[in-house]
Structure 1
Amino acid sequence: MSSETDQLRIFFLPLPTPGHMIPMVEEARVFAKHGVDVTIILTQGNANLVQKNIDHDSNTGHKIKTHVLQFPSAQAGLPDGVENFNSVTNIEMSHTLYRGIHLLQNQIEQLFHDMLPDCIVSDMFFPWTLDVATELGIPRLGFRGCGYFALCSEYCIKRHEPHKSTDSDVVLLPGLPPGTEQKSLGMLMNSFHELEGSYEEYLKTDIGLKAWSLGPVSLWANKDVNQKAERCNIAGREGHEVIDWLNSKEHNSVLYVGFGSLAMLPATQLNEIAHGLEASGHSFIWVVRKKESDEYDQVFPEGFEERMSESKKGFIIKGWAPQMLILEHPAIGGQVTHCGWNSILEGLNSGLPMIAWPLFAEQFYNEKLLTDVLRIAVAVGVKEWREYCEEGTAMVNRDEVEKAVRLLMGGEEEAAEMRKRVRKLQEAAKKAVEVGGSSHANLMDLINKLKSLKVKKI
C-alpha cells in the first residue's frame, strides 16, 4: 500500500461560534497529530483566532492548514469583522450572520468538488454537507457541540413530548431514544466513555447510530504546549495580573466565575451576583461581560470594586481572561459555569466542582447531568431558558448566589464528596486520551475505518 493511499485528507468545517469552532479545531489538530492531512475551512476573522495553534502544529511537522474564505460582510449586511457569534449583540444580528454564512455554501461546495477530500467533518448546522458528500461518494461525519446526555434528552423530548401532558414545571423523560440522519457515517463527540458511557451505549444500541467519543479533545490537542511559556506570553494583556494574585491564595480557596463568550447578563443580575459573592466571604475571580449599553456603576454596588481590591477578596476581569491558566491554578477550588459543554469539560479537566447556572441552548440538560447524574455541581436555581441574545425576565437573587457559593466552597461533607467525584473524572479524562485509553482507541478505530473506505473506493 502506497504512502499516498495511507495519507488521509480530511476537511473540517466548523460553525463560527466559540463553543463549536474551538473544539472542532482542537479535534482537527488531534487528527493531524496522528498522521492525517487536515484542512480547516474558516473565514479570515475566525482563522485569526486559531492560527497560532495551527502554525505551531504545522511547524512541528504535522500536516494541518487553514483554507481561508472572505466573509461576505457587505452582501450579508454586516459590519466588517463580524464573522463570529460572539460578536453578535441581538437575535436579528444572529440571523443576519447565519445568512452571511449561508452565502459561502457555493464556494465551499466547489472546494469539495475541486479538492476531493477523503472525508468531510462538518458542524451539525451545515446539513447540506451530507448531500455533497453523498454526491462525491465520500464519508461525512457530523460534529455536535454537546455531550451524549443532552443529545439523548433533546430527542426524547421531541419524540415523547412529556411536557404536553402535565402542568408541572418538572417532567420525567420516559426514554432516551434519539434519531438523526442515518446516511451520515456517524458523529464525532467531544466526550469520553467514562463520563457518559451509559448514554453513549443507549445512542448506539437503541438507535444504531454510530458515534465516536474523542474527548476531551483539548487535553491532547494542547498537551504539548508549554504552560510556563504561555503564562509568560499573557504579559501585557488585560487579566495577566491575576496569576500573581492567585499565587498569594491558599489551595482550593478561590471561586472562578465566568459565563462564557456569548452570554451578556443584564446589569440587575450582575448586581445581584456582586452582592452574593461579597456576602459569601469567599475569594473569587469574576470575568464580567456586560452589555455595551451598561456602565459599570450600574453593574456593581457602590464601592464594590474598591472593597474587593483593598480586601483582596475579589479579582474582577473586564474583558479577556487566561481562563485555562486560571482554572489549572491550585488556588482555584470551584467554578461557576453556564453549563456550556466546553466550560464543563474545562472545569472537569481541572478537577473542579461547579455551580451550575444554565442560560440557553442545551445547558439545562447539562445542568441535570452535573447535579443529578455525576453529582459534581450544585444548582444555583435558574428556572428560565432564554435565547442566547436575550436577557430573560427571571432573576437569581443575591441570597441564592451566596448560598450556592458557601455550599460549594465550604468544608462540609457534601462539597468534599463533589470534589472527590470530579477528581476521579479528571483522572479518567487524562487516561482516556492516552495510548490505550478509550478516546485514543476510538480515534485509531475511526482513522483505520476511513483508510479502509478510501482503499475500497480506489
Structure 2
Amino acid sequence: MTNQVHRNGSTKPHFILVPLMAQGHMIPMVDMARLLADRGATVSFITTPVNAARIESVVRGVEASGLPIRFVELEFPCAEAGLPEGCENVDLIITRPELQLRFYEGLSLLRKPLESYLRGIELGGAAVMISDSCHYWTMDVAREFSLRRMIFHGPSCFYIVCSLIISQQNIYEDGLGTSVVPGLPHRIEVTRAQAPGSWFYWPGWMHLKAKVDESESAADGVVINTFLELEPEYVDLYRGAMGEKAVLPIGTLSLYNKDAEIKSTRGNKAAVDERRLAGWLDAKEPGSVLYVSFGSLVLQGPSQLIEIGRALESSGRPFVWVLKGAEASRPELVEWMSEGGFAERTEGRGLVIAGWAPQVAILSHPSVGGFVTHCGWNSTLEAITASVPMVTWPHIADQFLNEKLVVEVLRVGVSLGVKVPTFYIEGEDVVGVERERVEKAVLSLMDGGEEGERRRERAREYGVKARMAMEEGGSSYENITTLTQILGHKVE
C-alpha cells in the first residue's frame, strides 16, 4: 500500500478501526469505515472470521463501490481464551455468564495478530487507530507503531458523563440504594444495579476496569456516535472532563446508509423478504405501526414473549415484532402462536420476523409511529433519527441511563417502569413485565392525546437536527473533517 497525498497536502490518512465484537458496536464502526473512506481516507477494518461472515453483504458492497476499505480477518484463538470454538461475538456468550469474563480478557489475544498485520503494510505518515474502549490492549499497539489512538464509545454521551461522575465520586461505595448523580443539568436518579459499568464490580472484573480506565486516559481523544444538538450539555461536560483531548460526536452514523439494500443488510442478512416487508408497511396508515425489537443481545423467555404477544394483540395496533431465532423456535411460543390462535387472530395486522430485521429501513418508513425498545444506544439513536417515539424497556448495561435520556431529558419516550436489570439464563422462564403494563404503555405512546402529540413533535424536531448534523456544514460533518484532516498526522 503506497502513500497517497491528501487534499490538504499531507499524507492521506489511514484509519485502523478495531471494534468490539458485538453487533451493537460493530455496526456503527462499519458505517464509520465507509464514511471515512468516502471522505478520502484509507481504512483497515479489523474483524474475525465469524464476524466477517455476518457483514458479507456489506463487504461485497464496499468492494463493488471501490471504497479504499480493507476488511482484515484476524484469527481469534478461542481455545486459548477458554472459549468454545467460534465464540467470536458477545451475542454467542450472552446466556453463558461463566464465559463472559473469559471473552473480554481474551480480546487481548488479538494483539499479536494485529501487530503482525500492521508490520506487513505501509502505514504512511498519517495513521490513526480508533478502537473500542474495551480493547485496552490497543494502547500498547499504538505506542509501538507511533500511532495516534482514539477511543470509540458506543453509548450516549449522557451515559459516559454519568459513568465518569459515578466512578470518580464513588457514589455507590457505601450502599445499594438510589442516588442522585451530582453535577448534571437534570435531576437523574439511579440505583447501584442500574449504574453504568455495574458489571465491572462483579467478582473478578475489577482488574479489567482498571485496564480500560488506563487505556482511555492515555488516548488522544474520543469519537462518539451521537450528535451535538441531541445532548449539548453532556457533550460540553464531557469535553470539560477530557481537557485538551478531542471529543468528536460524529453521528448519527446510520444516516450514511442511503441505499435501500445497504439499509436492509446492515449488521447481518435480513430474515425477511424486503419487498414483502415494504409492501406490508406501505399498506398501513402513516404513523400507525408499532415496531417491537430488543436488539441483538437481549433474550426473553417463552412466558415473557407470550405476555408481549398478548399485549400486542389486545392493543389493536398494527405491529412488526422481531424475535431472535432462538426465541422464535421455543416450543411453548410456537404452540401459543399457532395452536393458541395468535397468528390467526392478528393476521394482516401483525408481522412477526424471526431473525435479523432491517431496523433502519423499518424505523424510517412513514407508517411506523412507535418503537418498543430495550434502549440499546444504536436502537435509541436510530429511532431518534427517524423521529419515532419510544416505549422504553431497559435490560442491561447502558440501557437504563439511555432510558432516562429518552424519557426524562429528551422527553420522547414512555417508560415501562422497569427497575431491575434482567439477564436471561437458558432454562429460566419468568415474567418480569405483565401484558397490562405493556399494553398501557403502547396505547399511551400511540394515542397519547395532547401529551402524545407534543412527544411526537419533539421527536420530529430531533430527527431534523440529526439529519442536519450529518449534512455538509453540520456539526457531525465538521467533526468528521477534523478526524480526516487534523488528527491524521503521525505522532512524533
Same fold? TM cut 0.5: yes
Q: How does 1:176-255 map to 2 (within 5 A)?
A: 181-208=216-243, 209-220=245-256, 222-223=257-258, 225-226=259-260, 237-238=271-272, 240=274, 241-255=276-290
Once residues 401 and 85 of structure 2 are traced to their aligned partners in structure 1, the CA distance between those partners, rounded to angstroms, is 35
1:259–1:338 contact (8 Å) kept in structure 2: yes
Q: Which residue of 2 aligns with 1:448?
A: 485
Is the contact made by 2:287 and 2:369 (CA closer than 8 Å) also made in structure 1?
A: yes
Identity of counterpart residues, as a percentage? Answer: 38
Which residue of 2 is the match for residue 382 of structure 1?
418
Relative to 1, partners in 2 of residues 1:332 and 1:93: Cα closer, same or farther, differing over 3 Å? Answer: same
Partners of 1:184 and 1:329 in 2: CA distance: 39
Contact 1:252/1:332 (8 A) holds in 2: yes
Q: Is the 8 A contact 1:268 1:299 kept in 2?
A: no
Cα distance in structure 1, aligned partners of 2:49 and 2:262: 29
Pick from 155, 163, 181 the counterpart of residue 173 of structure 1: 181
Mean Cα deviation higher: 349-358 or 385-394: 385-394
Counterparts of 1:30-429 in structure 2, within 5 Å, are: 30-76=35-81, 78-88=83-93, 89-98=95-104, 100-115=106-121, 117=123, 118-163=127-172, 168=177, 170-175=178-183, 181-208=216-243, 209-220=245-256, 222-223=257-258, 225-226=259-260, 237-238=271-272, 240=274, 241-289=276-324, 290-291=326-327, 295-297=332-334, 302-309=340-347, 312-387=348-423, 395-429=432-466
Change (3 A) 1:98 1:419: same
Q: Which has the higher contact order (CA 8 A, sep 6+)?
A: 2
Cα distance change of structure 1 residues 96 and 164 upon mapping to structure 2, 3 Å threshold: closer
- Of 23, 28, 33 in structure 2, the residue corresponding to residue 23 of structure 1 is 28
Decide whether aligned partners of structure 1 residues 171 and 99 sit closer, same or farther in structure 2, where only a CA change above 3 A counts: closer
Q: Aligned pair count?
A: 448
Distance across 1 between alignment mates of 2:480 and 2:92: 33
Q: Quote the offset at 1:395 in angstroms.
A: 1.0
Any idea what SS the aligned residue of 1:450 has? Answer: coil
Change (3 A) 1:188 1:245: same
The code of the aligned residue for 2:392 comes to A
| Distance 1:324-1:236 versus aligned 2 partners, 3 A rule | closer
Any conservation in 2 of the 1:378–1:404 contact (CA below 8 Å)? yes
In structure 2, the partner of 1:14 is 19
Q: Which amino acid aligns with 1:160?
A: Q
Partner amino acid, structure 1, of 2:116: Q
Q: Is the contact between residue 73 and residue 82 of structure 1 (CA under 8 Å) also seen in structure 2?
A: yes
Once the two structures are TM-superposed, the CA of residue 103 in structure 1 deviates from its matched residue by 2.7
The answer to whether the Cα contact below 8 Å between 1:155 and 1:176 also exists between their aligned partners in 2 is: no
Tell me which moved more, 263-272 or 298-307. 298-307
Write the distance in 1 (CA, Å) between the matches of 2:435 and 2:340.
15
> Do the aligned partners of 2:300 and 2:424 also contact (CA within 8 Å) in 1?
no
Quote the offset at 1:81 in angstroms: 3.9
Q: How far apart are 1:95 and its partner, in Å?
A: 3.7
Aligned CA distance change for structure 1 residues 363 and 298 (closer, same or farther; 3 Å)? farther
Task: Give distance in 1, aligned partners of 2:415 and 2:402.
Answer: 11
Any conservation in 2 of the 1:11–1:39 contact (CA below 8 Å)?
yes
Post-superposition shift, 1:298? 6.4
Distance 1:205 1:353 in 2: 31
Aligned-pair CA distance for 1:354: 0.5
Distance 1:24 1:36 in 2: 14
Answer whether contact 1:355 1:380 (CA < 8 A) is retained: yes
Contact 2:323 2:354 in 1 (8 A): yes
Matched to 1:409, the amino acid is: M
Deviation at 1:8, TM superposition (A): 1.1
Equivalent position amino acid for 2:468 in 1: K
Q: Shift of residue 281 of structure 1?
A: 1.6
Which moved further from structure 2: 392-401 or 251-260?
392-401
SS at 2:464 equivalent:
helix
CA contact (8 A) 1:333 1:352 kept: yes
Deviations 1:393-433, CA, capped at 9 Å, x for gaps: 67111111011000001151111111111111111111111
**Structure 2 CA distance for partners of 1:294 and 1:120, relative to 1, 3 Å:** farther
Displacement of 1:382 after TM fit? 0.8
Structure 2 alignment gaps of length 5 or more: 186-195, 197-212
User: Would the aligned equivalents of 2:289 and 2:369 in 1 still touch at CA under 8 Å?
Assistant: yes
Instruction: Answer whether contact 1:381 1:396 (CA < 8 A) is retained.
Output: no
More moved, 333-342 vs 63-72: 63-72
Match for residue 3 of structure 1 among 2, 5, 11: 5
> Matched residue of 2:47: which SS?
strand
Bigger mean CA offset, 105-114 vs 18-27 = 105-114
TM-score, length basis structure 1: 0.89
Measured on the aligned residues, the alpha-carbon RMSD in Å equals 2.9
Distance in 1 of aligned mates of 2:461 and 2:382? 15
Q: Would the aligned equivalents of 2:131 and 2:150 in 1 still touch at CA under 8 Å?
A: yes
Q: Is the 8 A contact 1:42 1:67 kept in 2?
A: yes
Tell me by how many angstroms 1:218 deviates.
1.4
Instruction: Name the CA distance, whole Å, in 1 between partners of 2:79 and 2:277.
Output: 40
Q: Give unpaired runs (5+ residues) of structure 1.
A: none
Paired residue secondary structure (1:401): helix
Change (3 A) 1:59 1:105: same
SS of match in other structure, 2:151: strand
Note closer, same or farther for the CA distance 1:134–1:338 as it changes in structure 2 (3 Å cut): same
**Contact 2:384/2:459, CA 8 A, preserved across alignment:** yes
Is 327-336 or 290-299 further displaced after alignment?
290-299
